[in-house]
Amino acid sequence: MVIMMESKYDPKLVEKKWQKFWADNQIYKFNTESEKPVFSIDTPPPTVSGGMHLGHALSYTHADFIARFWRMMGYNVFYPFGFDDNGLATERLVEKKINMNSSDMTREEFIKLCLEKTKEAEKELKRQFTLIGLSVDWSINYRTISDYCRKISQLSFLRLYKMGRVYQKETPFMWCPKCHTAIAQAELEDVEQATFFNDIIFETEDGEKLVISTTRPELLPACVAVFVHPEDERYKDYVGKKVIVPLFGHKVSILKDERVDPEKGTGIVMCCTFGDQTDMEWYQAHNLPLRIAITETGKMTKISGKYEGLKIEEARKKILEDLKNKKLLVKQTPITHSVNVHERCGTPIEFLVTKQWFIKYLDLKKELIKRAKEINWYPKHMKARYDHWINGLQWDWCISRQRYFGVPFPLWYCKKCGSVILADEEQLPVDPLRDRPNRKCKCGSDEFIPEKDVLDTWATSSLTPQITLKWGSDFFNKNFPMSLRPQAHDIITLWAFNTIVKSILHENKIPWKNIMISGHALDTYGKKMSKSKGNVIKPEDVINKYSVDCLRFWASQSKLGEDLPFMEKDLVTGQKFSIKLWNAARFILSHIKGKRTEKPEKIRPIDSWILTKLNKQIKKITKMFKNYNYSGACHETVQFFWHDVCDNYLEMIKDRVYNKENYEEWEIQSAYFTLYKLLLTILKMMAPFMPHITEEIYHNYFSERENKKSIHISRWPSIDETLSNLEAEEAGNLAVDIISSVRKYKTKNNISMNAPLNKIIINCKKTEEDVLKLVVKDIKTTAKANSIEFGPASKITTENFGMTLNIE
RNA sequence: GGGUCGGUGGUCUAGUGGUUAUGACGCUGCCCUUACAAGGCAGAGAUCGCAAGUUCAAUUCUUGCCCGACCCACCA
């Protein structure tokens, strides 16, 4: 059945219709029976922590362009979709939803609520992600908190443990006092903060005064030493002496160390356990005592005496006040410096001594950089970010979190001897808080203490290839490494890096053959979108105002890896393109419907011209897609369609389709064939970008002709070299130049394009004349000239490309 | 401080070792031409960040500098 094309395109109706059609007909379902080559995509599972934002729309659409291209190239596309629904971000969302804190209830109650609420949130997220027309196979779905994913994640832990890659250690480590958990290096963020450099008087045992500058006076109770630079003449005599810590009265030694910057402050620095990383280095290097001033919840400890129980900020204020009163605070210099904060909550991190689980990988730095070369990085330079990150790594991967909603560690501790009892692989997934080990401890005891910590969420999401391909299955073995990891650049150091780590450790292989890195969506002024700035744009609003295809068209405008500002004008351009495509299709289809469109024996030169160009475009665009250059592919398709096809070719064939009596049968055939080929090819090349409108037009005619249920499972256009004709191409190019001169002439003289001309005399080289003769009739009819002659022009009307024209 | 990317008409951008540097938005003029007025056609508008170098030739390659964005480090 062929549907009539409405004169106006209505995306609201059409887009809904096809989205339902694709779902009902399982157009994007992965075919497990198929012999076709597989193209597998390691789709990012969005964190369940809020709604979908424009950045999601951007990068997920990019992946979809690629998926659709390879599907049309004849690949069996494995395109799963999961949700990352555990960890801090998800806990936060749930707390917000129920307007309660996790500490207001028992752990079990909280986890139960999390499971319920994430399910709701995921339903909504799925709706939003479906809206943008992704060609994912929704039947391959996963949740990182599901039993299945827990099992994979715990299995990974057990195997790494048995490989000796996992260790537990009590050590000063990065801690978020707000979230009450250890965090990893990759979860840090820098924030510029205004503070004071406080000059505080310390007295030596013999009453001499030394001034020390600090931004963190609340750490005075944790002061364990004072350092000066070994070369610093000012303080040489003090080294080895003791100073009394003001307000707190304990005595600490004055020591020397190269790491002191004599230029900074007074050149004397106090070392506290622990203010920052250097403190930790000094603590180890000089074998200093441990004085802990801050608790896990960010409050002052007992050693801070009367300040005990105060929050860090409060203590700082109070201590400064007291110092001032005692005339020990000599100066306060306002400064701004950057502070490491936890990216999730913005709280400055502390270094606390806690017992944590780690995956050992610092020894693999070189290997990780080397092996990642086996992956094709698109764009190439993103590999540098990965390398740079690894070079700067200073800690092994801390995988334990003191949180609740996450994958539990599959282990217990023996109550009697303290040894670690691992779960059996067959037992997974386990929850040590609920389950028991399968056997007694070696010491004979059968009393166990469960590990209460949960795994870092990245420890699970770094296993997405193992999760989606089913670790250990034939399918996994056949399809690992996956074809493509698409993701945005912000999580190269997290998701991409961690996945590579796990893949190298478990499989000794890279996880994917290709990685494609997208940029971020920015606001109109090129600034990051954030709730606090109030510049967040929701994809759904854009879709409601324009259309899904327009949103996707906007996304196609960003060069791979580059951030893209949200520009309303790009949406308008997409809309205009839709209208143009719709109208061109209406025009073409109104002429070729019901006509023969097979390749005729002879092709008119002007048709050969556009067909030659078409071949070149197919070649170029296909190559661009293979290189993940979707923006170039879209750009080229649009340019070709708009300017070559619409502006020129369609105008040139109007006479043939409207005044058939002036042409021979084969000439008309040649036009029909060319129009068919042009429209079909352009639809297909635009299909990855604008899947809805192209599907609508395809179903208006081509679907039946090609016997395909959907354009998205039709074959990608191929090149037919027998249609290329270089001489005709040259002739067509000259014709376009001449017609453009004629248009300029008509515009200059304020006459309508349709107005007839008496005569055009073309004065050109003989060689050009021979070529032009191939298309002279097309020029004549397009320019509406009564006659065209070659020869010296008596009067030069217009000059162009070395040719002169006389237009009368 | 280190790294990466970018700097092209008023704005946003494509692209290239070689005639006249792409397109979009905006602006101006013309045209209701049987696909398209949310359109078509045409026009104005760019010393391609600055300086030096390589080259017969540089907006394109190299180096330095300036500016911006992002990442990382430092952060007493």
Angstrom distance, A312 CA to B58 C1': 59
Angstrom distance, A338 CA to B67 C1': 23
Q: Which nucleotide is nearest to A393 (CA to C1')?
A: B72
A512-518 vs A420-422, strand pairing mode: unpaired
Mean of all residue pLDDT scores within chain A: 92
Angstrom distance, A803 CA to B19 C1': 15
Q: Which nucleotide is nearest to A565 (CA to C1')?
A: B12
| Cβ(A611)–Cβ(A731) below 8 Å | no
Q: Which nucleotide is nearest to A639 (CA to C1')?
A: B23
Angstrom distance, A379 CA to B54 C1': 28
Angstrom distance, A535 CA to B17 C1': 43
Q: What is the pLDDT of residues A534-549, one digit of tens each?
A: 788 899 999 999 999 9
Backbone phi, psi, residue A80, to 5°: -80, 170
Q: What is the pLDDT of residues A103-157, one digit of tens each?
A: 899 999 999 999 999 999 999 999 999 999 999 999 999 999 999 999 999 999 9
User: Is the pLDDT confidence value at A60 over 90?
Assistant: yes
A193 or A678, which is more confident?
A678
DSSP string, A524-587: TTSPBP-TTTT----HHHHHHHS-HHHHHHHHHTSPTT--EE--HHHHHHHHHHHHHHHHHHHH
Residue nearest to nucleotide B19 (CA to C1'): A801
Residue nearest to nucleotide B3 (CA to C1'): A388
Q: Which nucleotide is nearest to A272 (CA to C1')?
A: B76
User: Is the pLDDT confidence value at A364 over 80?
Assistant: yes
Angstrom distance, A18 CA to B24 C1': 29
Rounded mean pLDDT, A728-733: 90
Q: How confident is the model at residue A2 (pLDDT cuts 50, 70, 90)?
A: very low
Tokens 């909504």 belong to which residue?
A124
Q: Which nucleotide is nearest to A227 (CA to C1')?
A: B76
Question: Does the ipTM surpass 0.85?
Answer: yes
Which nucleotides in chain B lie closer than 7 A to a protein CB? 2-5, 12-15, 20, 22-25, 29-36, 38-43, 69-76
String of b and e for A466-477 (b: at least 16 CB within 10 Å)?
Answer: bbbbebeeeebe
Angstrom distance, A744 CA to B30 C1': 11
User: Is the pLDDT confidence value at A792 over 90?
Assistant: no
CA-CA distance, A265 to A202, in Å (whole number)? 14
Token code pair at residue A392: 């700067």
DSSP string, A714-732: SPPP---GGG--HHHHHHH
User: Is the pLDDT confidence value at A586 over 90?
Assistant: yes
Q: What is the pLDDT of residues A626-654, one digit of tens each?
A: 999 999 999 999 999 998 999 899 999 99
Angstrom distance, A89 CA to B58 C1': 51
CA dihedral A715, A721, A722, A727 (to 10 degrees): 140
Within 13 A of A442's CA, how many CA atoms are on the CB side? 6
Angstrom distance, A747 CA to B26 C1': 22
User: Is the pLDDT confidence value at A694 over 70?
Assistant: yes
A298 or A753, which is more confident?
A298
Q: How confident is the model at residue A23 (pLDDT cuts 50, 70, 90)?
A: very high
Backbone phi, psi, residue A169, to 5°: -150, 140
The sheet carrying A482-488 orders its strands as: A376-378, A512-518, A482-488
Backbone phi, psi, residue A405, to 5°: -90, 90
Rounded mean pLDDT, A571-600: 92
| Cβ(A625)–Cβ(A633) below 8 Å | yes
Q: What is the pLDDT of residues A522-581, one digit of tens each?
A: 888 788 787 777 788 899 999 999 999 999 999 999 899 999 989 888 898 999 999 999
Q: Which nucleotide is nearest to A557 (CA to C1')?
A: B13
Q: What is the pLDDT of residues A34-57, one digit of tens each?
A: 999 999 999 999 999 988 999 999
CA-CA distance, A43 to A458, in Å (whole number)? 15
User: Is the pLDDT confidence value at A801 over 70?
Assistant: no
Q: Which nucleotide is nearest to A268 (CA to C1')?
A: B76
Q: What is the pLDDT of residues A263-285, one digit of tens each?
A: 888 999 999 999 988 999 999 89
